[in-house]
Structure 1
């Protein structure tokens, strides 16, 4: 390719256009500081660039762009398709402010099934597909993968542990104890039986649930005929689980892989909703909110987004069919570019019927609803979440966060708190407190270990939701404890963040601990991400202190007599009336105590001994 450029402080567009060729290519606009403003493509560069400098007909936003232009660089290409692909590469690398930018340009998660082992594992995978095995997806987010993995774990009990854990186990783990794994790590299942479960898992992920259920029904009937009713019940439960999923996600008669796009617009705000269909199954969906700084019409916004969605991320899965709500510019051009990348035909349709039209309607309704939510009072919350995603370098915006804190007074009545923030902000109904017992007074590490273990052991057993982000209030010590607990319980795919106070212990000087404890990050005091973390931490602190004070005050106001065996409400009342209060009871001898109505000599000795120990 050849390249021509012009760089001037005061841009002379007439001179520039006089030397611009009328061929296909890409143009890049820069400001006076040589910073990119906009990247575009054109079938005819001369005509397209001339349209920016006409005297009438420009929108105010486009006029604002033109006023900032100090230089333009053009790159001719052989074909318009080549120009489209180059345009998306430049947008991805330069991220010009006037282009429609796709924030989520990371790869989607997949379900990975290893194949080179006697006892394969199933797990979540994101990124390059280098490992030997099969990849199923893509799924719209990690939550969708976890949902599928949880179902498969309950139904077929194929292991999900890391190989490093699997090859070093000497006894079954918690997953075996709660009947979610068959214990291949310690030889509790034959390889033939395990491989059958692996095959069922594979068939289910391929969308062949009907075939799996057919085999399970036959095995259930055979087991019942042999009077093996416990085994028959196991097959029955598997069939029930699969039928439920099939009813929710599978459409009879529909096959093939496709993505369905819909767009909603309100006051120059846009929401593009993508529905993922694989093998006739709805794997999930995701909403995007592109910003349009040039005032483009809705069709152009969708066209730019679809091109960037696929061409700006080469590791993204390209289905055989793409469904759009209406025809867009460059539809044939985008289809040809996708065909080249996929090495197979890609259809882009906007006129569909039957189930595809229902999916399109569903995507449209979701786009409208999500845009309404976006522009409501939650907009500020979403900005904080987006800032946190960007600050921590997360693949996607966290949908659920949990934060733990410890509170006590010199080790007395220690309480741990767990607060939950989801996409709507704080979620008090999911808050939890843990009364810490059996830990040395003042041992914050031991208290944190106990709280985390109790919390995530329950989650591993299927109670509640696993968070995307776990925040611990403390430095590397607390962070290390949390990391050890998660590893011991086999809890995976949770991003761990520690938030430590700085040397001044003042708000705004916190240090974040990331990446397994190997990296520290300090955010600016004005950062929305830091404000969100402070809000979550302070809420955890408040909730822990409230619980601790309530527990401490209850202990201090409770009569010591309540814990004496054989002393009920009536005898306590007689003792307090006789001696004028608890201090008088504590000062009394055994003889004095035995003189109270209803108190025998033996009981008096018990009361005396109990109060003296306290």
Structure 2
């Protein structure tokens, strides 16, 4: 959780931070991607974090893994004279629960002020039933002493009703009263007392910040928000289970010439025909035409009664607004990414002297241990993003010695020979040639790649290589990746890049992804061979 997620996440990648915990390095090695959910305020972020940590039980989050949860305020309506208290567990005992509240200290402070204002008892039921005289709370004007009949049942009930209205956010009248009292105290030059009232008002506003990510007694529901721009549709599903927001699903589609109602109808059929976790209520950002027919269909698919609703006010409407907000943000991020990668790829085209814009880039890497368990990996980036449907692994078949050049030749021959044979029956799936071939290696691997491409008739297909650094970083005794070299054909010296330039970092990212993809399978194969030998 953070106001600025980009700054927060960037801090994880800074080297040598004074306050950087050791666990961060281990976490980064395991992390593959970053996902986020937008909330309307910090309180919602805290509550959502609590819910997600308890659901997923991440290894490196220990603070919120236990059974503790955020505090709630309880009014024991099962009693003739209900008491008020702060609890963590929500029970089905006839009591009313309000919250949860992310700030326990602020919640307790506000409860203290509520007790002063409405004089509800805060003692335990056993203590209340055994009292024969008022306690100290009565003497301090913090309790109306219902235990010894100092207040009638009807008057106490009125106090309880006022408290419930306040905790249900009908607090405007009370805040106005406190503000008037504060002004009167200031006019009487009782500034210290006025400051105390000011602090009470601030605490009430902080504690009762509206949140919608956790609701006591809430139902299972999906909240679907749809947004479209000129060329893309974003659909966000917020999954609420038992009143708690557990996560979101985002679906991005190319724009279809339909109105939002038709798009939602088609999405509902597509999504829930595959997903059997159908909640009892589905909230939509648009009204649909055949609501009853869809309700019957979803009820049949889910095996329970399902209702579809479009709400224009209340908590449900707030959730719909939140879903739309998340969908809009996803569209915005995608557009920013698109603009960023267009700029990066355009600069690459200039730097590498490419005739065509490098929209599709394929990178090849070889992984082996002294010639054993050898694999060639192919990763593909389209529009600057990995396209994993085009990833391929090649188990080296013709080379059994540590010969990277021959292994690279075999992998490239199989890849581009497949394109040449794509009209044959035995070739069931292949992809057209990329706009740029990137090789993990130096000039030797680059020359091998060029000869293979020429052999198969791809003499116009540009190829470049990225050679790992030879210099060592003195801080960690590892190769200094800032010293990696980029080579192209018919050029003796490496292409000059600023080491912090986005295009140079992008090429390293593509290379590192090819290495990661290949080494993962290589390690699994080594482990399998080790146990087979046993």
The answer, yes or no, to whether TM exceeds 0.5 is no
Give the TM-score normalised by the residue count of structure 1. Answer: 0.30
Give the TM-score normalised by the residue count of structure 2. Answer: 0.34
